[in-house]
Structure 1
């Protein structure tokens, strides 16, 4: 990863904008720092989002910013690096 999602100075970004693949609804959420989020229900169409194959969480699959463990240099191997 080329540092996408990191702020100047290397700090981890905690807000990510999720985009529902079913209806296109967007919502900015604060990502947990102590766990991977495997499920997220779209508040507009109620589709249950799950990570795509190879991603560790819904933020890595559908978010504008990858999850904090990935930002911190974790390996995107489909498992939560935290």
Structure 2
């Protein structure tokens, strides 16, 4: 079963936010709700959830690269 909630952790301020991941697209950018830092995927990752989340994005959970 695919998990749709992932907790994103901002590398700048450490703020953690539980977010619902899209099932039909990758999310390349996310603005931290505390400090406003724009998160972008790390090299080799397809989206911000794979880089900063507790759960990888739905396509990666299914064994497919979305990026």
Q: Tell me which interval the TM-score lies in, with the shorter structure as reference length.
A: over 0.9
Aligned equivalents of 2:24, 2:63: Cα separation in 1 = 15
- Paired residue for 2:4? 14
What TM-score do you get using the length of structure 1 for normalisation?
A: 0.79
Backbone CA RMSD of aligned residues: 0.9
Q: Deviations over 1:31-51 (max 9, x none)?
A: 000000000000100000000
What TM-score do you get using the length of structure 2 for normalisation?
A: 0.97
Matches within 5 A, 1:65-80: 65-75=55-65, 80=67
Shift of 1:74: 1.2
Aligned equivalents of 2:34, 2:7: Cα separation in 1 = 14
Q: Deviations over 1:16-73 (max 9, x none)?
A: 0000000000000000000000000001000000000000000000000000000001
Structure 1 position 56 matched with structure 2 position 52: no
Gap runs ≥5 in structure 2? none
Gap runs ≥5 in structure 1? 1-10
Between structure 1 and structure 2, the one with the greater Rg is 1
Aligned residues: 67
